[in-house]
Amino acid sequence: MRCPACGTVYPADAKFCTKDGGRLLPFTAGGEPPATGPRATTPRANTPDPSQRKVDSHANLAGEVLDGRYAIVKKVGEGGMSHVYLARDVSTDERYAIKILLPSLSRDENAMARLRREAALGIRLAHPNVCHIVRMGETEDGLVYVVMPFVEGEILSDRNNRLGTIPLPMAVQFVSEIAAGLHVAHELKIMHRDLKPENIMICRRADGSEYAVVMDFGLAKERKAGGELEKLTATGIILGTPEFMSPEQLRGKPLDARTDIYSLSLLTYEMLTGKLPFEGRTQQEMMIARLRNEPTPLRQRVPGMDFPAGVERVLLKAMARNVDDRYMTTIEFAAELVAAASSGGPAPGGGMLGKFFGR
């Protein structure tokens, strides 16, 4: 297979160029595409013949072998754009999470072009605090899928609901790890755009220590509310969970890394208080509050909890309505949060920060 844009040649089972995300075309040794007939492939050793197990539905793939390579074990989740499966590589026995995109998304040329660009970058997004894209593919049946490492642990939203609030030192640790992973993505010009507790997994190492992993990167989540508040009812359905979206995202404005910083500050606030800084009885009211109101101060939200004043100051700056008033990078935000939480402890760049950012 060869990329028609850059000319890079790939193995026969490749579908997209890892450099520019373009769809690959069949390529022969002579440099010309085959004249007639479908491309012949050689089945992997010990791989069930995929022709014997036709994929009937993207919503029910358990027991199938996807693309002759991934044996689908079971469905583990689903969302507005995909069904998520636990799969096993039939050659290596390694476990993966595979997202099968809904046909409506795979037929959207603009969404697919953006997804391929992000997948090409996402393959480079290897970081211990990020669940990155391993590869993107498409079956002969036309199912588009994204392969990622299978990550086990407790979803942050479940942890927060179970405990009510998360102690400040633990919250600062998780935020610092999330910030480190996001920074690597932002350096590659990838924004998450859907950062919320449901997309953070708390995992456990062999020694029992815990760490945070950012999930669900690079799945064409450039969603726009548009027209300010004109279509809030409709966007309440399209956006799913608007509580963690930045004002500029709700307005459909151009986004950069600072939109993820805004969402990360809301996520931090909720970890510490069990609540959000903006109130509303409906999703629409929550959006309006984000666009018009000031956040409830941290210490006012939970009377009796003695948070350092600096922590509240850091969070208010990170969730400023005006994007230019926020921190520029997640590392800067995390550094200020660590310093504020330690109340005069190690200066930014050492101590706890050194652990998370390699200093």
Residues 143 and 164 in one domain: no
Task: Specify the pLDDT at position 305.
Answer: 81
Stated pTM of the model: 0.71
The 10s digit of each residue's pLDDT in 261-300 is 999 999 999 999 999 999 888 878 888 888 999 999 888 8
Q: Are 53 and 64 in contact (CB under 8 A)?
A: yes
Q: Are strands 70-78 and 65-66 parallel, antiparallel or unpaired?
A: antiparallel
Q: Are 61 and 85 in contact (CB under 8 A)?
A: yes
Residues 184 and 111 in one domain: no
Residues β-bridged to residue 97: 86, 148
| CA 165/CA 271 separation, integer angstroms | 6
Indicate the number of domains in the chain: 2
DSSP 164: S
Q: Are 125 and 138 in contact (CB under 8 A)?
A: no
Residues 77 and 186 in one domain: no
Task: Look at residues 118, 150, 182 and tell me which one is the last residue of a structural domain.
Answer: 150
Catalytic (active site) residue 194: yes
**One of 20, 93, 158, 194 is an active-site residue; which one?**
194
| CA 40/CA 117 separation, integer angstroms | 28
| CA 309/CA 316 separation, integer angstroms | 11
Task: Specify the pLDDT at position 162.
Answer: 95
The list of the chain residues with pLDDT below 50 reads: 28-56, 219-240, 344-359
Euclidean distance between the first and the last CA atom of the chain, given in angstroms as a whole number: 43
| 52 is a domain residue | no
Residues 85 and 187 in one domain: no
Q: Are 259 and 194 in contact (CB under 8 A)?
A: no
Task: Look at residues 135, 150, 165 and tell me which one is the last residue of a structural domain.
Answer: 150
Residues 136 and 168 in one domain: no
Residues 193 and 141 in one domain: no
Structure tokens at 89: 């590589």
* CA nearest to 153, candidates 84, 205, 101: 205
| DSSP state letters, 243-308 | GG--HHHHTT----HHHHHHHHHHHHHHHHHSS-SS--SSHHHHHHHHHHSPPPPHHHHSTT----
Residues 129 and 234 in one domain: no
Residues 160 and 118 in one domain: no
Residue 74: C-alpha distances to residues 52, 66, 86, 217 (Å) = 19, 13, 6, 22
Task: Specify the pLDDT at position 58.
Answer: 66
| DSSP state letters, 325-338 | GS-SSHHHHHHHHH
Residues 198 and 346 in one domain: yes
Whole domain around residue 307: which residue ranges? Answer: 154-357
Residues 186 and 267 in one domain: yes
Task: Specify the pLDDT at position 116.
Answer: 82
